[in-house]
């Protein structure tokens, strides 16, 4: 990782900062607080440069300041951009703070890098950097701004060395193995519970299968008996049907149509007879009326003639002319004889007699015709009665045929119903077979599950043994312990190399591992011993100046170890490393810094040292000034 450029707007005390932080060599950063002369360089914003770099890389402040407090007091939002290079690729980190909310953008060569959320993008950024925030704070940030190895406890020192050596991978592997063991044990417990449940269910299933099997056999037997009974019924009905059809076929064919035809003819003749009789009656009546009229007329004629004769006779008897009323003895024009009237009267009476005789003859003739018609009618009525009788017989025969046909149909329906029942019975499935099939299928499933559970239990047992071995390998007693112990001599060599530069060989240090068992667990402690001309002792027994001299060699030793494993940074940031040191101490530190920056094979092109003492600035290649004025800091 190579840091190249830092840009800030309204971040901390910087209103607008743009600084090239690559190839600065050995530089010092001093401050000037024009807003508060009494404060000297304090509050000028020197440490804020380191804080900005750290925030740009990891999204958090070295001083654990809330995001909203990182915004310059007179501004509402802040922006920060940090350019860096990693493995030959150029990257840009952009961060902004608006209303206390932080935003992160990451790009490579001008192309944005995306992730599901800010956390995942930060993880990707740290992967590209190849350095965790904690490691950066120990091997890049030194002095007050960083975290001193010598001031850490046993757990912190061990964790830092593990981070440098990337031994956390083994810790993660041990954690994964432990998690896997718990998962396998949980699965094994679950298998045990399921196995117990399945075994109980299997017992109940076997009982149910036995009951359903017995019930199924009973149903099958009952069904077979019902089929046989229906087959017998079908055979009997078929015999009855054959007999009924034979009886139906034996019946003579119906003649009702012919009988109806003959009957209709007789009825027609009877109707004609009645019409003839009616006509005779009407003719007789008409003739009677005509004869009566003629006889009346003839009778009237006769009566008239008789009247005339009577009058003449009377007049003649009185000797009075019936015509003119004169004396018959006197000659006159009137007819005086009654002979002619008497002759006419006789003729008229004879005609009347003939009319009455003719009427009588006509009456007799009509009566004879009517009698003959009545005789014919009686014969026709008798013939019609015969036809009616024949029709009744035909109706009776038709009813018998219909009854026989209905019986045949009834028997056919009965036979078809029996056949349908037989089909249904033959197709019927045992109601217990489905549940029995389900039960047996479930039985097979449970037995299969039990076999699989047994196989899985065996497999889990093997996996548990493997995971337990792996957990032991990756535990503090395993590979980690061996690697940790093997790296301590290398770290001691590097440490004493750097300590020799700051003490001219007068001081030597030693890190050692002390293993103690407490409650059956291995506990590793890192013991930090220091030897000087006056004797040896612990780091804590040294003066503050002596501890300050050792802090930087410790940090550079850890940085060298990290660099040997490919974890590199082109920059070191040192804050107040000259504090509480005399001139010799400052010279020794400067000698160390020259060595790490300018020495053969150095990977550091920029070492920025923050100091309050301007008198030391002449010893540096470049001097950076953080000047605060008007509430804003400018770095030049």
Show the tokens assigned to 510.
């030693």
* 3-class secondary-structure state, position 143: strand
100 φ/ψ sector (left φ>0, alpha ψ -120 to 50, else beta):
left
Instruction: Say how far apart CA 145 and CA 528 lie, in whole Å.
Output: 22
Please tell me the predicted confidence (pLDDT) of residue 336: 47
Do 202 and 160 lie in a common domain? no
- In whole angstroms, what is the distance from residue 334 CA to residue 338 CA? 12
> How would you classify the pairing of strands 141-143 and 571-575?
parallel
Q: Is residue 517 part of a domain?
A: no
Q: How many CA atoms lie within 13 A of 212 on its CB side?
A: 17
The answer to whether residues 561 and 491 belong to one domain is: yes
pLDDT value at residue 539: 66
Which residue is listed with tokens 């092109």?
605
Beta strands in 404-520 (DSSP E): 508-518
Answer yes or no: do 166 and 191 share one domain: no
Dig out the tokens for 225 from the structure: 């008996």
Residue 632's SS3 state is strand
For tokens 């940790």, the residue is 484
Q: How far apart are CA 79 and CA 202, in angstroms?
A: 69
Token pair, residue 258, equals 């012919």
d(CA 72, CA 209): 81
Q: Is the same domain home to 108 and 71?
A: yes
Give how far the C-alpha of residue 264 lies from the chain's centroid of Cα atoms, to the nearest Å.
Answer: 82
Distances (CA, A) of 434 to 441, 454, 502, 603: 10, 30, 92, 80
520: left (phi over 0), alpha (psi -120 to 50) or beta: left
- Burial of residue 391 (CB within 10 Å: 0-12, 13-18, 19+) is middle
Tell how strand 571-575 and strand 606-610 pair up.
Answer: parallel
Count other C-beta atoms under 10 Å from residue 183's C-beta: 13
Whole-number CA gyration radius for the chain: 73
For residue 207, tell me if it sits in a domain.
yes
Do 24 and 167 belong to one domain? yes
Which domain covers residue 575, as residue numbers? 2-172+481-506+545-635
Query: In this structure, are strands 25-33 and 606-610 parallel, antiparallel, or unpaired?
Result: parallel
E strand or H helix at 628: strand 622-629
Question: Contact at 8 Å (CB) between 138 and 122?
Answer: no
Look up residue 391 and give its two tokens. Answer: 């029709």
User: Is the distance from CB of 632 to CB of 14 less than 8 angstroms?
Assistant: yes
Burial class (CB within 10 angstroms; exposed 0-12, middle 13-18, buried 19+) of 548: buried
Residue 10 domain-assigned? yes
- 3 state SS of 262: helix
Matching residue, tokens 């807003």: 35
Q: What is the sign, positive or negative, of the torsion defined by CA atoms of 414, 418, 419, 423?
A: positive
How many residues are recorded in the chain? Answer: 636
Task: Say if 359 falls within a structural domain.
Answer: no
In a domain, 400, yes or no: no
Give the Cα separation of 46 and 635 in Å (integer).
Answer: 9
Q: Considering the domain boundaries, does residue 206 fall inside one?
A: yes
Are residues 85 and 228 both part of a single domain?
no
In angstroms, the CA 27 to CA 247 distance is 135
Q: Which of 90, 107, 134 is nearest to 2 (CA)?
A: 90
Per-10-residue mean pLDDT for the chain, 636 residues long?
89 88 86 73 80 89 83 89 90 90 89 85 87 81 66 67 67 79 86 87 84 80 83 85 78 60 67 71 73 75 72 59 54 52 72 75 72 70 68 72 81 85 81 79 86 86 83 70 73 78 73 60 65 67 67 79 75 78 78 81 82 77 84 81
The pTM of this model reads 0.56
CA 163, chain centre distance (Å): 48
- Same domain as 147, residue 117: yes
Distance (Å, whole) CA 11 – CA 55: 10
Which DSSP letter does residue 634 get? E
**Residue 330 is encoded by which pair of tokens?**
């006197």
Neighbouring CB atoms inside 10 A of 203's CB total 10
Same domain, 567 and 600: yes
Cβ atoms within 10 Å of 412's Cβ, excluding its own: 15
Sign (positive or negative) of CA dihedral 433, 435, 439, 445: positive
CB of 558 closer than 8 Å to CB of 124: no
565, 164 Cβ separation under 8 angstroms: yes
Tokens at 63, concatenated: 């001083």
One domain for residues 162 and 236: no
**H or E stretch covering 8:** strand 2-11
Q: List the structure tokens of 198.
A: 């399945």
Residue 79 has what pLDDT? 93
Same domain for 136 and 79: yes
Number of C-beta neighbours around residue 572 at 10 A: 24
How high is the pLDDT of residue 332?
A: 46
Q: What is the DSSP letter of 477?
A: T
Measure the CA–CA gap between 48 and 17, rounded to whole angstroms.
11
Quote the CA–CA distance of 306 and 144 in Å, as a whole number.
191
Q: What is the pLDDT of residue 331?
A: 45
Q: Identify whether residues 43 and 159 lie together within a single domain.
A: yes
Q: Residues near 410 by Cβ (< 8 Å), separated by ≥ 6?
A: none
Cα 192 from chain centre: 33
Query: Are 183 and 147 members of one domain?
Result: no
| Bridge partner residues of 54 (DSSP) | none
Residue 343 lies in a domain: no
Max Cα-Cα span within the chain:
235
Given this model, what pLDDT does residue 522 score? 53
Q: What is the CATH classification number for the domain harbouring 602? A: 3.40.50.300
Domain count, the chain: 2
DSSP 578: T
CA 253 to chain centre: 74
Whether 329 is in a domain gets the answer: no
């Amino acid at each position: 990782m190579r840091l190249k450029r830092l840009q800030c707007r309204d971040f901390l005390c910087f209103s607008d900062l743009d600084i090239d932080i690559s190839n600065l060599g050995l530089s010092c950063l001093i401050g000037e607080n024009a807003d508060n002369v009494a404060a000297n360089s304090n509050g000028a914003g020197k440490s804020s440069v380191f804080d900005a770099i750290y925030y740009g890389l990891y999204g958090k402040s070295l001083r654990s300041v809330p995001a909203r407090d990182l915004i310059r007091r007179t501004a509402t939002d802040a922006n920060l951009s940090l350019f860096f290079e990693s493995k030959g690729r150029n990257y840009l980190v952009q961060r902004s703070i608006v209303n206390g909310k932080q935003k992160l953008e990451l790009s490579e060569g001008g192309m944005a890098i995306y992730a599901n959320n800010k956390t995942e993008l930060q993880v990707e950024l740290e992967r590209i950097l190849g350095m965790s925030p904690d490691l950066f704070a120990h091997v890049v940030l030194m002095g007050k701004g960083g975290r001193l190895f010598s001031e850490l406890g046993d757990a912190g020192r061990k964790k830092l060395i593990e981070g440098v050596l990337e031994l956390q991978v083994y810790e993660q592997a041990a954690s994964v193995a432990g998690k896997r063991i718990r998962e396998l044990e949980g699965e094994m417990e679950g298998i045990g519970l399921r196995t117990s449940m399945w075994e109980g269910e299997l017992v109940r299933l076997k009982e149910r299968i036995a009951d359903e099997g017995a019930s199924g056999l009973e149903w099958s037997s009952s069904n077979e008996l019902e089929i046989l009974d229906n087959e017998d019924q079908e055979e009997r009905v078929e015999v009855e049907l054959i007999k009924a059809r034979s009886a139906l076929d034996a019946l003579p064919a119906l003649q009702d149509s012919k009988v109806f035809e003959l009957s209709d003819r007789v009825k027609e003749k009877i109707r004609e007879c009645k019409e003839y009789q009616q006509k005779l009656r009407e003719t007789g009546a008409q003739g009677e009326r005509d004869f009566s009229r003629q006889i009346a007329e003839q009778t009237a004629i006769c009566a008239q003639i008789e009247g005339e004769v009577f009058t003449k006779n009377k007049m003649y008897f009185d000797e009075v002319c019936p015509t003119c009323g004169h004396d018959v003895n006197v000659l006159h024009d009137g007819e005086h004889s009654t002979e002619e009237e008497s002759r006419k009267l006789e003729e008229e009476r004879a005609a009347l007699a003939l009319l009455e005789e003719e009427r009588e003859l006509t009456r007799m003739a009509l009566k004879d015709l009517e009698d003959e018609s009545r005789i014919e009618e009686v014969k026709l009525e008798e013939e019609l009665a015969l036809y009616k009788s024949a029709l009744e017989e035909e109706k009776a025969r038709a009813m018998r045929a219909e009854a026989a046909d209905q019986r045949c149909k009834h028997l056919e329906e009965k036979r078809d119903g029996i056949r349908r029942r037989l089909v249904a019975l033959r197709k019927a499935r045992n109601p217990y077979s489905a549940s029995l099939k389900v039960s047996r299928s479930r039985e097979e499933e449970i037995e299969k599950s039990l076999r699989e559970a047994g196989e899985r239990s065996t497999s889990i047992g093997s996996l548990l043994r493997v995971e337990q071995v792996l957990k032991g390998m990756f535990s503090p007693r395993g590979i980690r312990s061996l690697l940790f112990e093997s790296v301590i001599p290398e770290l001691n060599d590097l440490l004493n190399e750097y300590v020799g530069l700051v003490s001219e060989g007068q001081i030597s240090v030693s890190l050692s591992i002390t293993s103690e068992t407490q409650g059956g667990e291995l506990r590793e402690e890192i013991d930090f011993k220091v030897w000087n001309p006056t004797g040896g002792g612990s780091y804590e027994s040294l003066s503050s100046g002596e501890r300050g001299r050792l802090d930087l060699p410790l940090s550079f030793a850890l940085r060298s170890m990290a660099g040997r494993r490919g974890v590199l940074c082109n920059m070191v940031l040192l804050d107040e490393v000259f504090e509480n040191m005399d001139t010799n101490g400052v010279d020794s530190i400067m000698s160390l810094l020259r060595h790490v920056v300018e020495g053969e094979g150095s990977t550091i092109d920029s070492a920025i040292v923050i100091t309050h003492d301007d008198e030391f600035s002449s010893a540096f290649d470049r001097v950076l000034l953080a000047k605060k004025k008007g509430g804003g800091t400018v770095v030049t």
